[in-house]
Amino acid sequence: MSSEVGTIQNDLQTEKNDAAQGPGSDCYGISGTVDYDVAGTIEHDVNGSFQYDLNQPTNAISVARGDITTLNDDLSSLSASGLPAPSGASAAIASGTAGHQPGQRGQ
């Protein structure tokens, strides 16, 4: 994400530099140019790359929670059949949920 933040900062600085130079001889309007650049380049940076990277940990957490739920269901099925849980199952669940209970934010 830090590289996307850097890209956004660079694009914003480019806009500031362009705006400081005025409309120029080939410019059809500074506000149109800035609006276009902000709506295109910078909005893409924020809503595209940065948002994608921001969502990756959230998606991974959702997958891990689903896996833990599946494991718990499987352990319940084993128990109902009179079979013991595999060694390490409880430790795996505990390590997967340590400090990150549903509804809480991680550090």
pLDDT (tens digit, 9 = 90+) per residue, 59-95?
888 888 888 888 889 999 999 999 888 888 888 888 8
Helices (H), 21-82: 30-37, 43-44, 51-80
pLDDT (tens digit, 9 = 90+) per residue, 2-46?
676 777 778 778 777 777 766 655 555 666 666 777 677 777 777
Q: What's the token pair of residue 51?
A: 């948002």
pLDDT of 56 above 70:
yes
Amino acid found at 91: A
| pTM as predicted | 0.47
The H or E element containing residue 104 is none
pLDDT of 49 above 70:
yes
